[in-house]
Amino acid sequence: MSFAVCIVAVAPVRIEPTHKSEMVTELLFLESVTVLERLQDFIKVKCHYDGYEGWCQQIQLVETAFLPETYGWHHQPINEVIINNQLTRVSMGTTWNDTSISLPPFDISFKEAKPPAHFDFTEQNIQRITRAFLGTPYLWGGKSVFGIDCSGFTQQVFKLFNIVLPRDAYQQAALGKSIGFLEEANCGDLAFFDNEEGHITHVGILFNTHTIIHASGYVKIDAIDAMGIISTLHSKRTHRLRLIKTFRE
């Protein structure tokens, strides 16, 4: 079995081994995978963090028998690392390793001071971390400050609290403890929304019982009531509330 590590800031993971194929998720810098298959310039991989599978461009990964240890996650919106003496900027939520690491032919060093292993799941921390993504453009399959989708946003935020969520909204909705009414929800609870067929298609993070932050067009703060999200900008309902889950112990 072969392993690989992402060596660029963000690497697309696609359904098929072609640049024209839909991007379903991304690998962040130093994210590790298992190599499943090879086809020309592409490698089929399985992400170690959430089990997602897809095709990556081979040149954006480095194969290795040694998987670097994760000491924490970058918690500033944009962070600087040095790869072979060249400055690279990586996203919030990217793996932070020790002060330096070698993945031949790449030598990597980190400019940011060691981050905490995780943050306490408090309202203050939830507000600070989620607001760091404000204005990030929506990108289907994205999970970085350079572009993100709704479930990528919730997954990356919860990662910084050492809470592992699966990649897609419907998968996240299957976890956690159900909250019966919006009035009982707390900051950090996840609100899920469905379409006309009843399928979960959207997720956001509640600030309180009347405000939610979510990725729709871009990461933004909107109003919410028992029926769903109301766009603050356009004063119209955009998403229908299906259920609320808490991940507090």
| Catalytic residue check, 199 | no
Tell the residue number behind the tokens 């998968």, with chain if given.
171
The string of DSSP codes covering 172-214 is HHTSSEEES-GGG--TT-EEEEE-TTS-EEEEEEESSSSEEEE
CB 64 within 8 A of CB 5: yes
| Catalytic residue check, 214 | yes
| Catalytic residue check, 150 | yes
**CA separation (Å) from 159 to 49, 108, 116, 130, 238?**
10, 23, 12, 12, 27
Q: Which of 74, 75, 202, 239 is catalytic?
A: 202
- Report the first-to-last Cα separation within the chain, whole angstroms: 36
DSSP letter at 59 equals G
H or E element in which residue 69 lies:
none
Q: Which of 75, 150, 187, 239 is catalytic?
A: 150
H or E element in which residue 150 lies:
helix 150-159
Q: Would you state the structure tokens that stand for residue 133, as one six-digit string?
A: 């993504």
Q: Classify burial at 99, counting beta carbons within 10 Å of its beta carbon; exposed 0-12, middle 13-18, buried 19 or more.
A: exposed
> What's the rounded Cα separation, in Å, for the pair 229 and 213?
10
Q: What residues are annotated to the active site? A: 150, 202, 214
